Amino acid sequence: MTKITDIKPIDFNDKVTITKEINNFAEKYAYAEVEHALEISPAGKAYSVIGTKGYVSSEIIGKEALTGSISIHNHVVFAGQNKGDSFSDDDLTFAI
């Protein structure tokens, strides 16, 4: 249900670049029809991930890459609404 669509190098200590990546992600996927995620790993890689209409799991990347990472993902905005749901139980469990 989830697959990695891109892996690119990134300087984890370059906060300006990381902020730009997060802002670009938010703009690009705010109203996407499926869930997407961006995981920026301290190991120096940025992973783009795609899921389904109601689910995306960054666990596919692996625990080593995710430990200490910076994460963002969208939730699908349903017809007639102007925003998606906030943190799901899965989101909170994953963050822990």
Complete edge-to-edge strand list for the sheet that includes strand 45-50:
3-9, 45-50, 36-41, 70-73
> Which domain range does residue 91 map to?
3-95
Task: Count the Cβ atoms, other than its own, within 10 Å of residue 64.
Answer: 9
Report yes or no: 31 and 84 within 8 Å, Cβ to Cβ: no
Smallest CA-to-CA distance from 34 within 22, 48, 23, 50 is with 50
Q: What is the pTM of this model?
A: 0.87
The pLDDT tens digits of the residues spanning 21-53 come to 999 999 999 889 999 999 999 999 999 999 999
List, in order, residues 6 or more apart from 40 with CB less than 8 Å away.
10, 12, 18, 21, 46, 47, 69, 70, 71
The count of structural domains within the chain is 1
The pLDDT tens digits of the residues spanning 53-89 come to 988 999 999 999 999 999 999 988 877 766 666 777 7
Confidence of residue 9 (pLDDT cuts 50, 70, 90): very high
Please tell me the predicted confidence (pLDDT) of residue 84.
Answer: 61
